[in-house]
Amino acid sequence: MSDLTLPSDWLQTARSKLRDAEVGPKAVPIGRVVRLADGIAQIDGLPDAALGALLQFESGGYAFAHSLDPDCINAVFLDAAERVTVGERVRDTGDVLRVPVGEALLGRVIDPLGRPLDGGPDIVTEEMWPVERPAPAIIDRDLVSEPLETGVLVLDSLFALGRGQRELIVGDHATGKTSLAVDAIINQKSSDVICVYVAVGQRATAVERVIEAVRTHGDPSKCIFVVGSAGAPPGLQWIAPFAGMTMAEFFRDRGQNALIVIDDLTLHAATHRELALLTREPPGREAYPGDVFYLHARLLERAAKLSAAKGGGSLTALPIAQTEAGNLSAYIPTNLISITDGQIVLSSHLFSAGQRPAVDVGLSVSRVGGKAQNKALRSVAGRVRLDYAQFQELEMFTRFGGMTNERIKAQIKRGERIRALLVQPRFSGLRQIDQIALLTALADGVLDPVTPEVFPKLREVLPAAVDRLPKEDLSAMRSGEFSPERRRRLAQAVSELVNENDLSEDTP
């Protein structure tokens, strides 16, 4: 006999289900393609489709609803549309565009839909999240108070970044914008921050260099590379920043810390303008549609520091924008500056003069600043920006004639050392304790007899000397405690290092 036993009321249950079952014809809306051009399909017959809805063509391709007109839908293809024809049937999937999220993405190079581009196996995750998600409410956010260490002295000392901040990196073409952001990613190899690099409209060779740099100098197992290259369909380029933000939010919402670099939003805005013009939206300033500000505002507002009740995770955004001839008042840079919590401005003149990273100290600002900076680092970096700005003005005037005033000569000498100290090669991130040591030595005059040409050697031998300090001093300085006695011992250690290595210009 069979071991299968049926409940006593099985017959009544079956009859109840049959009685409640809906039997009869069911209307399923079917749309048709009425026009095809340049990666855009105009579709009619789907009056209930929502903005951003995922649409499937009879030939198997997919698109998403980019704009809704009274009599048709303008859909943007997510893949090549060679097989789609006019008159073809289109079905509304009833869902929005989603991307995979999870730890399975770490270490992978993928397109904005989560498909592998690195030749590895297909990515399988447990969850698929919408690319468009609401930003955290104000009540769900917390103060930005923890530093995000980039390892770049000019950033960590003068324009400190906090976890949960949105800091724009802006400058002309080929001034080191991507290099600065990549150095910040590489420096997270010794932290708990998950990094997401999003390439929008970039050349394939440029993206390959970024990936190779992270693999060589950083920890690629903590990074996700989302690539919507220049050769990808406009639809993929358009959703790339939103897809990358969703993938980063997965870690933020679990209470972890994440960093997203979007390279760059100027090209993303150009893609948005292209799609808007193709879908015949009314053009505005510089032919951009009227919603271009909202486009980036709703994207960057998703970066935040969450409250303890929401897990305490953070998502820091470093969007990149490009200017023409240093014009910060252009439309897109102006929009992004007003959205973000500060900007790092890179100067082509400084870059050409060999000052790299070519950060313009006068135009750059971090609106979070010292609130998220280590207290010990803040105490020794307080006057650096002012002294450097005064030096730049004095240097300009001294070109017209010599200065005999000893005080001015001392200011110029100090400014030359500040400038040399802020020059930092790529892939040579400084620990926070080493930054404190360098700025302490600068503020206390220890570096005055050191010629700027030997600063690179000083940076190389400094970590070993700092590590010889008492462990309680190192621990206290990392936590922000910086008593006068500890400061004296730190300055003395750097002074002894200068003498041991014959770095002083007074040494015969």
- DSSP category for residue 311: T
Q: Which residues contact 278 (CB under 8 A, 6 or more apart)?
A: 37, 38, 39, 40
Q: What is the pLDDT of residues 247-276, one digit of tens each?
A: 999 999 999 999 999 999 999 999 999 999
Residue 401, class by beta-carbon neighbours within 10 Å (0-12 exposed, 13-18 middle, 19+ buried)? exposed
Q: What is the DSSP string of 460-480?
A: HHHHHHHHTS-HHHHHHHHTT
Four-point Cα dihedral 116, 121, 123, 126, nearest 10:
180
Give the ranges where 279-405 is alpha helix by DSSP (H): 292-300, 331-339, 348-352, 375-381, 384-398
Q: Which residues contact 221 (CB under 8 A, 6 or more apart)?
A: 106, 107
Euclidean distance between the first and final Cα of the chain, in Å?
104
pLDDT given for residue 402 in this prediction: 62
Q: Which CATH architecture has domain 30-96?
A: Beta Barrel (2.40)
Please provide the average confidence, as pLDDT, over all residues in the chain. Answer: 91
> How distant, in Å, are the alpha carbons of 7, 123, 163, 222, 411 from that of 193?
54, 22, 9, 8, 39
Long-range Cβ contact pairs of 50-53 (< 8 A, separation 24 or more): 50/96, 52/96, 52/97, 52/132, 53/92, 53/93, 53/94, 53/95, 53/96
Q: Considering only the top CATH level, what class is 379-500?
A: mainly alpha
pLDDT given for residue 316 in this prediction: 98
- Decide which of 319 and 51 is more confident: 319
Contact call for residues 238 and 292 (beta carbons, < 8 A):
no
Residue 381, class by beta-carbon neighbours within 10 Å (0-12 exposed, 13-18 middle, 19+ buried)? buried
CATH 3.40.50.1100 for domain 100-373, yes or no, is no
Q: Would you please indicate which residues are annotated as catalytic (active-site) residues?
A: 367
Task: Read off the pLDDT of each residue in 89-97 and give the average, rounded to a whole number.
Answer: 92
pLDDT band per the 50, 70, 90 thresholds, residue 5: low
Res. 400: pLDDT tops 70: no
- Cα separation, 70 vs 49, whole angstroms: 12
Could you tell me which residues are beta bridge partners of residue 223? 195
Q: Which residues contact 402 (CB under 8 A, 6 or more apart)?
A: none
pLDDT given for residue 433 in this prediction: 95
Long-range Cβ contact pairs of 280-284 (< 8 A, separation 24 or more): 281/67
Q: Where are the domains of the chain?
A: 30-96, 100-373, 379-500
- Cα separation, 418 vs 8, whole angstroms: 87
pLDDT band per the 50, 70, 90 thresholds, residue 37: confident
Could you tell me which residues are beta bridge partners of residue 76? 40, 64
Task: Return the minimum-mean-pLDDT range out of 35-39, 212-216, 424-428.
Answer: 35-39
Q: What is the DSSP string of 162-219?
A: BTT-B-EEEESTTSSHHHHHHHHHHGGGGSSEEEEEEEES--HHHHHHHHHHHHHHS-
Q: Whose CA is closest to 206, among 183, 234, 174?
A: 174
- Cα separation, 247 vs 114, whole angstroms: 10
Contact call for residues 161 and 225 (beta carbons, < 8 A):
no
* Pairing relationship of beta strands 127-130 and 73-77 according to DSSP bridges: unpaired
Query: Looking at 201-346, which runs of residues are DSSP E strands?
Result: 223-228, 257-263, 314-322, 342-346
Q: Is the dihedral of CA 87, 89, 95, 101 positive or negative?
A: negative
Residue 71, class by beta-carbon neighbours within 10 Å (0-12 exposed, 13-18 middle, 19+ buried)? exposed
Three-class secondary structure of residue 81 per DSSP? coil
Task: Read off the pLDDT of each residue in 17-38 and give the average, rounded to a whole number.
Answer: 82
Cis ω for the linkage preceding 25 (within 30 of 0): no
pLDDT given for residue 471 in this prediction: 92
pTM over 0.85, yes/no: yes
- Cα separation, 479 vs 377, whole angstroms: 10
